[in-house]
Chain A
Amino acid sequence: MSARSNILNKLRAGLAGATPRPDDFDERLVTEPWQYPPEERIARLQNLMEAVQTEVHSVRGEDWPETVAGLLARRNLNNLLYAPETGHGTQLGDYWRSTEQAIELLAYDRPVEDWKDTLFWSVDASITGTVGGIAATGSLVLWPDRHEPRLMSLLPPLHIALLRASQIEDNLYTMMQRHNWSSGLPTNALLISGPSKTADIEQVLAYGAHGPKELVVLVIEDE
């Protein structure tokens, strides 16, 4: 007998004569305490994220590449990892060329194996999009894909994330429902709620454990 059938048989024996419990999930319990008027969503997300040392800026539609350039210049950084095939990547690239930015743009356009050393040690910052935000917990939602890979939001010490104000949902439950997560998830879906941190030594909070030391969120006000 295989381990699989042994385990399943034992479990089935334990359930002999019992009926499965009904699915009485009460969605009000996870939605009602976590609902906000649209104008308050940004403020709540911002407050919660700032409480965990995240920088949140509101920017107007087309201005964000300029804000990004400013953020990098102020920190004296040398390069920025970006996803050239995405909409925001194209926009960033155009801005960089037209304004002749000195900071080097690194395109994540080849498998990690081809440049692991650079990715792990030499990238200063990255910029990614998000598929939305969650006001209840102050979280960003990322669905990395072939154009914007998983390590982009993990390896560089500074991660800049673009968030459209209209894509901030009240809570995780509405986020899942609105985008029908249960019908199919990507290889990796992520909620990110601040820069990486640890309190493993004496419960002293330290930022920049293994992931980004800094997280900057640009909330794009779209009309």
Chain B
Amino acid sequence: MSQRIPVTELTGDFRQRAEDALGDDQLRTNFRTAMDSLMTKRADAFPDEEEREGLRELGNRIKARALSRLPDLLEQLETRLTENGVQVHWAETVEEANRLVHGIIERRQGSRVVKGKSMVSEEMEMNAYLAERGIESLESDMGEYIVQLDDEKPSHIIMPAIHKNRRQVSRLFHDHLGEPETDDVNELIRIGRRTLRRKFMDADVGVSGVNFAIAETGTLLLVENEGNGRMSTTAPPVHIAVTGIEKVVQNLRDVVPLLSLLTRSALGQPITTYVNLISGPRKPEELDGPEEVHLVLLDNGRTGAFADAQMRQTLNCIRCGACMNHCPVYTRVGGHTYGEVYPGPIGKIVTPHMVGLHKVPDHPSASSLCGACGEVCPVKIPIPELLQRLRQENVKNPDEAPKVKDGGAKYSRSERLVWGLWQQLNTRPLLYRLFLWGATRFRKLTPAKAGPWTDNHTAPVPARRSLHDLAKDHLARQGGR
């Protein structure tokens, strides 16, 4: 794997991909089944509504408090981590972050990297960056490993390979690893275990993400079920953690409710198999653990979101995936349709700050605003409200200085004109009555074709008499007014 891993080419735009996905029965079955099960599990994990709502409120306050002191907490985190022997690095862009990671690996003359699951490393496209420089960067989470073998990207932030079924995985293992085909999931996992254990042993560097970075103690907290996260952060001589600047919390006790919210919302588990708290590299007298631990703090547009008090709430996200599990759109089109690292409702609101709204112009409107995402969000991000805000930013005239990166991509003068007229009509009584008078009298002149609407519907025709007229008549009959 010395040459660049080709990343799946996503063809067409969001609409085209959505249409393709909707026609893919296998894909839809895979997602429907998985999402239904995840929703049930979450519901079962929160049997007491009062307890759940109290915890969500607390989770929201903890994140809001952390964000209200973010620069100070980042400095405190850096100080504590440094005292603990961890080397802290800062990166404004993904290029910078990749350069930092590559630099650390190069200094150790490393060529083999194993990775625990990390969405930030997906943002960075770290695997491809390192592969171009002759470094094997291997995913070790079973789902991520499967996805990487097939040159794909994760389709769900918690369940990366949820779009594949066992036969597809079996074929993949057969083609790439020469393993006999099997329908037994346990056997497939055994193959993954065997293959990756060798990689853990030989790796020069382990890379991981971070679920919570605790400023008070200088601790990186990671959750996982498989043990690959512990392997990546314990077995190789160097551990590099990469994370977004929003992951910092003030106090150790703050992680108690957040942890409970995270694992119950994501998988319906009271807790993950492993909760891994890392506060430093191996001490001289210790017998295992990495000699070096690094933390790369990545901005990648987060400061842009932070600058806007409303959009700042996107930084509350603890990456549980509950919003996508409950999203009627995500369930039908799947994660790849979004074409970005973060799919689903949360992806729609965090992606614009990373790549610019002009790159994802259809995302804010690919929602029925049903509100499910906001209702289940463990830290109470008002996702539907933020989607509406993005819709506004999307149609702003570039001269109006849209507040979200590269907003205004959907600005249209004619649309603006139509809405301008509509506004005039509805705010001036005299004009409105004149319009009603005309619309009812000349109803026969309504065009039979009204754009895409009439592809599937009959054209709307105004009533013979307006409600206003009817009401006037009614009142006249009743009171003789």
Chain B residues with Cβ below 8 Å from A18 are 68
Interface residues of A in 5-22 (CB under 8 A from B): 6-8, 10-15, 18-22
Query: Is the C-beta of A211 less than 8 angstroms from some C-beta in chain B?
Result: yes
Q: A7-B90, A110-B287, A149-B286 are in contact. Are A209 and B256 (CB under 8 A)?
A: no
Say yes or no: B58 contacts A26, CB within 8 Å. yes
Q: Which of A15, A112, A120, A191 contacts B287 (CB 8 A)?
A: A112
Q: State the CA gap A27–B68 with chains docked (Å).
A: 21
User: B252-275 vs A: 1/0 string, CB under 8 Å?
Assistant: 111011011000000100111111
Interface residues of A in 42-91 (CB under 8 A from B): 48, 52
For A172, give the chain B residue with the smallest CB separation.
B256
Chain A residues with Cβ below 8 Å from B272 are 193
Say yes or no: A21 contacts B274, CB within 8 Å. no
Chain B residues with Cβ below 8 Å from A192 are 273-274
Say yes or no: B279 contacts A187, CB within 8 Å. yes
Contact-residue size bin, chain B (C-beta under 8 Å from the other chain): 35 or more
Question: How far apart are B81's CB and chain A's nearest CB, in angstroms?
Answer: 12
Say yes or no: A146 contacts B64, CB within 8 Å. no
Query: Is the C-beta of B146 less than 8 angstroms from some C-beta in chain A?
Result: yes
Say yes or no: B161 contacts A30, CB within 8 Å. no
Say yes or no: B227 contacts A20, CB within 8 Å. no
Say yes or no: A3 contacts B288, CB within 8 Å. no
Say yes or no: B70 contacts A210, CB within 8 Å. no
Interface residues of B in 192-210 (CB under 8 A from A): 192-193, 196-197, 200-201
Q: State the CA gap A169–B70 with chains docked (Å).
A: 33
The segment from A96-104, A122-130, A194-202 found at the interface with B is: A194-202
Q: State the CA gap A146–B30 with chains docked (Å).
A: 46
Interface residues of B in 212-262 (CB under 8 A from A): 216-217, 219, 225-228, 230-231, 234-235, 245, 250-254, 256-257, 259-260
User: A149-190 vs B: 1/0 string, CB under 8 Å?
Assistant: 111001000000000000000011100110001101111111
Q: A200-B142, A204-B185 are in contact. Are A10 and B289 (CB under 8 A)?
A: no
Q: State the CA gap A129–B124 with chains docked (Å).
A: 40
- Give the interface SS of chain A, mostly helix, strand, loop or mixed: loop
Query: Is the C-beta of A24 less than 8 angstroms from some C-beta in chain B?
Result: yes
Query: Is the C-beta of B55 less than 8 angstroms from some C-beta in chain A?
Result: yes
Say yes or no: A182 contacts B217, CB within 8 Å. yes
Q: State the CA gap A2–B299 with chains docked (Å).
A: 13
User: A196-221 vs B: 1/0 string, CB under 8 Å?
Assistant: 11111111101011111000000000
Query: Is the C-beta of B43 less than 8 angstroms from some C-beta in chain A?
Result: no
For A13, give the chain B residue with the smallest CB separation.
B307
Q: A15-B68, A18-B68 are in contact. Are A209 and B142 (CB under 8 A)?
A: yes
Q: State the CA gap A201–B312 with chains docked (Å).
A: 35
Q: State the CA gap A22–B250 with chains docked (Å).
A: 11
Chain A residues with Cβ below 8 Å from B68 are 15, 18-21
Question: How far apart are A134's CB and chain B's nearest CB, in angstroms?
Answer: 8
Question: How far apart are A150's CB and chain B's nearest CB, in angstroms?
Answer: 5
Q: State the CA gap A188–B287 with chains docked (Å).
A: 13
Query: Is the C-beta of A35 less than 8 angstroms from some C-beta in chain B?
Result: no
Say yes or no: B278 contacts A198, CB within 8 Å. no
For A204, give the chain B residue with the smallest CB separation.
B185
> Which has the most chain B C-beta neighbours within 10 Å: A12, A27, A185?
A185
Q: State the CA gap A87–B166 with chains docked (Å).
A: 47
Question: How far apart are A157's CB and chain B's nearest CB, in angstroms?
Answer: 10
Query: Is the C-beta of B75 less than 8 angstroms from some C-beta in chain A?
Result: yes
Question: How far apart are B115's CB and chain A's nearest CB, in angstroms?
Answer: 13
For A108, give the chain B residue with the smallest CB separation.
B287
Chain A residues with Cβ below 8 Å from B143 are 198, 200-201
Query: Is the C-beta of B65 less than 8 angstroms from some C-beta in chain A?
Result: yes
Say yes or no: B289 contacts A187, CB within 8 Å. yes
Chain A residues with Cβ below 8 Å from B234 are 150-151, 154, 188
Interface residues of B in 33-50 (CB under 8 A from A): 33-34, 37-38, 48
Q: State the CA gap A128–B37 with chains docked (Å).
A: 36
Q: Which of B48, B250, B289, B299 contacts A33 (CB 8 A)?
A: B48
Q: A26-B58, A203-B162 are in contact. Are A210 and B231 (CB under 8 A)?
A: yes
Say yes or no: B273 contacts A196, CB within 8 Å. yes
Q: A30-B257, A209-B225 are in contact. Are A21 and B278 (CB under 8 A)?
A: no
Say yes or no: B307 contacts A14, CB within 8 Å. yes
Query: Is the C-beta of B159 less than 8 angstroms from some C-beta in chain A?
Result: yes
> Which has the most chain A C-beta neighbours within 10 Å: B30, B140, B282, B288?
B288
Say yes or no: B186 contacts A112, CB within 8 Å. no
Q: Which of B62, B71, B75, B253 contacts A182 (CB 8 A)?
A: B253
Apart from A112-B235, A149-B289, A206-B186: 18 A-B pairs, beta carbons within 8 A: A11-B71, A18-B68, A21-B61, A25-B254, A29-B257, A108-B287, A121-B197, A173-B256, A176-B252, A182-B216, A185-B219, A188-B289, A190-B274, A200-B146, A203-B159, A203-B162, A210-B197, A211-B273
> 9 A-B contacts, Cβ less than 8 Å apart?
A8-B75, A29-B257, A151-B234, A154-B234, A181-B252, A190-B275, A196-B226, A201-B164, A210-B227
Which B positions have Cβ atoms within 8 angstroms of A? 30, 33-34, 37-38, 48, 51, 54-55, 58, 61-62, 64-65, 68-72, 74-75, 90-92, 96, 140-143, 146, 159-162, 164-166, 169, 185-186, 188-190, 192-193, 196-197, 200-201, 216-217, 219, 225-228, 230-231, 234-235, 245, 250-254, 256-257, 259-260, 267, 270-283, 285-289, 297, 299, 303, 306-307, 312
What 10 A-B pairs come out closest when comparing CB atoms? A211-B227, A200-B143, A209-B226, A196-B227, A191-B275, A210-B227, A10-B303, A137-B271, A112-B288, A4-B90
